[in-house]
Amino acid sequence: MRPRTLAAGAVAASAALLLTACSTPGGGAIAGAGSDTLVISTPTEPDSLDPTFADTFAARMVFTSFCEKLYDVDSHLKIVPQLAAGMPKMSDGGRTMDIPLRKGIRFNDGTPLDAAAVKTTLDRDLTAKASARAGELNAVSRVEVKDPDTVRLVLKHPSAPLLSQLADRSGLVMSPTALKKLGARFGTAPVCVGPFSFKSRVSGNQISFAKSPYYYDRAKVRLSGIVYRFIKNSSVATANLESGDIQAAEHLDASDALNLENEGREKVLHSDTIAYQSISINVRKNAKTALSHSSGLRKAFEMSINRNALNQAVWNGQMVPDCGPLPVQSPLRTAPHCTPFDPGAARALVKKSGVKTPVPVELMVPTGAASQREAQVIQSMAEDVGFKVSVRPIDLVSGLDLARKGQFDTFLEGWSGRVDPDGDTNDIITTGGSNNFSGSDDKTVDRLIAQAAQTNDSEKRAALYAAAVRRVGQNRSLLYLYHDRWFVGTSDKLHGVVYPPDGIPRFKTAYLSR
């Protein structure tokens, strides 16, 4: 779950291109480049810095600076090797995956990276209590060391999404030396392979990193360090950027991004991302709210929301209104049939329900100015047809905890998106999924998602995902609102930032000019 942001200009699907900051003028070296520490603000503090347990977008962003994966995604969302030396070799009808590893790689504590180290990480991900990775790797039966430079995954069944998981948090590899030393406390002093190594963390304030002397590609790292500072308010972050206290501000609100672009003193990078925003409605059998037990009221609630007007009022028209989870960039996307905005029909459904009006609805919302504005617009729209919406601001980590426990009515939250559609559906709309906040239980959806994961036929997969999304749309346990456009404001002295459509800025090649 994550915050979101916007910028100027029309949203286009073709913007799934790599966006980078300007290169050095004339191609020459800039005096002082590589000798400075970059300070970047982000509105949400990561949860754990332990890859096995981390479960927030903020953690995914920070990992890019100190913890590399077996695979990564490029500017077109194509999966490419990172710590792996090449793409995996499949055998046994797709049930065996051999991953070759790059040679001569060291973790940031000097420990060599080899197949045994990768096995240690993956075994931990698969077996640790409360692991957030176990579900992502559930197709893996066991991990073997084929040879020192090759790790073998033996699968229970063919798995189309597995490679994309290895290009995300399930592909992050941890130092076995640090794991042995720290155990469950690994997240307090994490050690991986990366351009920067962990230095310190001040809860509620910042996380600091220093350039790693062990990094295999350190010649390309021109910053001496990087600091992630937590600033919830976009306007405050913008002010810090303009004053020079920080050199980059991640996840700016649309209005702040527009102002920066108009003023021209700073730069704004934008990415049409694979992320989406939605409202989960608690439909558990033990839930005791009007919406939980009435599909008619849930339909009325959805029909009260004008997605286009919401986009204009809160995001200056920068988002992509939608009623499905798959982004426009996905080749497996089938355009969903959206329930139309129809306040008249919504009022009729509310009346037909027989529930005394106004129908009470509590909307849990992560703290933040933009989230509050969005909640207030939804509140106004819903009240117009007979609902009384009370907004409950809450910090994201606490909100996620309550959502998983089913202690909420409705929850406005975002999903940062995944390269493979399985990551946007499985675990979110399947029974018992750790991110299935609504508590929906639909065996047909479970079967469709499972079938889609076990075939590599693109046409079949697209049809199966379309059918699953249609089922969710009919039940309305999850109301999709839009896909995100995100923005990073930067100082005009910051160069070399890479901002792909997964919405995670990379700072490996960034540098500061004088």
CATH number at residue 99: 3.90.76.10
Average pLDDT over residues 292-312: 97
Name the average pLDDT for the chain.
Answer: 91
Identify whether residues 304 and 452 lie together within a single domain: yes
What domain range is 122 assigned to? 68-203
Average pLDDT over residues 419-430: 93
* Structural domain contains residue 210: no
Identify whether residues 153 and 282 lie together within a single domain: no
The burial class, CB within 10 Å (0-12 / 13-18 / 19+), for 244 is exposed
Cβ(71)–Cβ(166) below 8 Å: yes
SS3 147: strand
* Structural domain contains residue 317: yes
Of 14-18, 191-195, 406-410, 445-449, the range with the lowest mean pLDDT is 14-18
- Model confidence at 328: pLDDT above 80: yes
Between 77 and 161, the more confident residue is 161
Q: Which of 203, 236, 259 is the last residue of a domain?
A: 203
- Model confidence at 40: pLDDT above 80: yes
Average pLDDT over residues 40-67: 95
* Structural domain contains residue 236: no
SS3 50: coil
Q: Up-side HSE of residue 224: CA atoms within 13 Å toward CB?
A: 6
Identify whether residues 198 and 303 lie together within a single domain: no
Alpha-helix runs per DSSP H in 71-205: 115-127, 162-166, 176-182
Peptide bond into 3 cis (omega under 30): no
Identify whether residues 196 and 298 lie together within a single domain: no
Kindly state the DSSP code that residue 229 receives in the 8-state scheme. Answer: E
Give residue 456's pLDDT.
Answer: 87
The burial class, CB within 10 Å (0-12 / 13-18 / 19+), for 313 is middle
Give residue 514's pLDDT.
Answer: 81
* Structural domain contains residue 122: yes
SS3 39: strand
- Give the count of beta carbons closer than 10 Å to the beta carbon of residue 157: 12
In our burial notation (b when 16+ CB lie closer than 10 A, e otherwise), range 8-38 reads beebeeebbeebbbeeeeeeeeeeebeebbb
User: Model pTM?
Assistant: 0.80
Identify whether residues 455 and 328 lie together within a single domain: yes
Give residue 416's pLDDT.
Answer: 87
**pLDDT tens per residue across span 347-391:** 999 999 999 999 999 999 998 888 999 999 999 999 999 999 999
**pLDDT tens per residue across span 457-509:** 999 999 999 999 999 999 999 999 999 999 999 999 999 999 988 899 999 99
* Structural domain contains residue 264: no
- Give the count of beta carbons closer than 10 Å to the beta carbon of residue 120: 19
Identify whether residues 187 and 314 lie together within a single domain: no
Enumerate residues 6+ apart whose C-beta is below 8 A from 399.
1, 364, 365, 366, 408, 411, 413
**pLDDT tens per residue across span 105-137:** 999 999 999 999 999 999 999 999 999 999 899
* Structural domain contains residue 10: no
In our burial notation (b when 16+ CB lie closer than 10 A, e otherwise), range 443-458 reads eebbebbebbbbeeee
CATH number at residue 397: 3.10.105.10
The total number of structural domains in the chain stands at 2
* Structural domain contains residue 386: yes
* Structural domain contains residue 493: no
